[in-house]
Amino acid sequence: MACLLFAGTRVHADQQVTLSPAQTPAAADLVDIRTLIPDIAEDIKYAGHGNFVGAPVDGYLAPKCLLKRPVAEALARVEHELRATHQRLKLWDCYRPARAVAHFVRWAHDLSDQRTKAEHYPRLDKRVLLGDYIAPVSGHSRGGTADLTMEQCDARGEHCKELDMGTHFDFFDVRAHTDAPDVTPQQHANRLRLRAAMEREGFKNYPLEWWHYTWADEPTPHTIYDVPVK
């Protein structure tokens, strides 16, 4: 049966996917995570140049993490629990507009643009990224998924540092698989610490990307949005 690859989820063709007509975050029930956690650590990669495209991505007008409200509330609970042990989350991407995904696809078709190969896909030919790693529809566009890592802070909850996970974000390689065999025991243990913290609040990891988590009880699992992040 034909499937659509949703960056972490396969949705069968008989499960209709609808593009919402919503034009604002409020209409899509998307909230800024900072309304719940004003000082959460963020480095929204697609709003700047430090990503696999090498440029700001269509639809990212501001470096913000938007999520469906109940998903944002669940993520806030994860952060609250982590802070009790001087740990924190750091967010790289959350809701992703459909137009951003289209930008990814155009980039993948442009084989002349190899600027980010050394950093993001050193062992792959760019021609294999489309389909295996980059799909025309992303689960991020539903507002229920976040890409993130974990930080360890000092005893006062300050001077936080990212845990060593073995690869950086959007590293297209088998080493990014959550249970990849060719990372150190400590790097694997750090991935499992992140996964355990997220699973306690109902988030499920995509096994091929240690940073990718989707809330299991998504509010609109078959609706994607194209509201700009602003």
Question: Quick one: pLDDT at residue 199?
Answer: 98
In the chain, the number of structural domains is 1
Question: Residue 42 catalytic?
Answer: no
Question: Quick one: pLDDT at residue 13?
Answer: 37
- By CB atoms closer than 10 A (0-12, 13-18, 19+), residue 145 is buried
In contact, 222 and 17? CB cutoff 8 Å? yes
| Euclidean distance between CA atoms 164 and 162, whole angstroms | 6
The dihedral built from the CA positions of residue 209, 211, 98 and 128, taken in this order, carries a sign that is: negative
Task: Give tens-digit pLDDT for 128-176.
Answer: 999 878 989 999 999 999 999 999 999 988 899 999 999 999 999 999 9
Domain containing residue 23? 3-224
Which residue has 């980059």 as its token pair?
A: 134
Out of 42, 201, 209, 218, which one is annotated catalytic? 209
| Euclidean distance between CA atoms 138 and 74, whole angstroms | 21
Which residue has 């062992």 as its token pair?
A: 123
- Residue 230 in any domain: the answer is no
Question: Quick one: pLDDT at residue 17?
Answer: 87
In contact, 141 and 96? CB cutoff 8 Å? yes
Question: Quick one: pLDDT at residue 155?
Answer: 92
Residues of the chain with pLDDT under 50: 1-14
Question: Quick one: pLDDT at residue 112?
Answer: 98
- Residue 88 in any domain: the answer is yes
- Residue 229 in any domain: the answer is no
In contact, 102 and 170? CB cutoff 8 Å? no
DSSP state of 90: E
- Residue 216 in any domain: the answer is yes
Report the CATH number at residue 27: 3.30.1380.10
Question: Quick one: pLDDT at residue 175?
Answer: 97
- Residue 23 in any domain: the answer is yes
Question: Quick one: pLDDT at residue 15?
Answer: 56
- Residue 28 in any domain: the answer is yes
Question: Quick one: pLDDT at residue 99?
Answer: 98
CA distances from 162 to 42, 110, 129, 188, 220 (A): 12, 33, 27, 14, 32
CA distances from 70 to 27, 34, 44, 55, 145 (A): 15, 14, 21, 31, 12
- Of 5, 25, 40, 37, the residue nearest 143 (C-alpha): 25
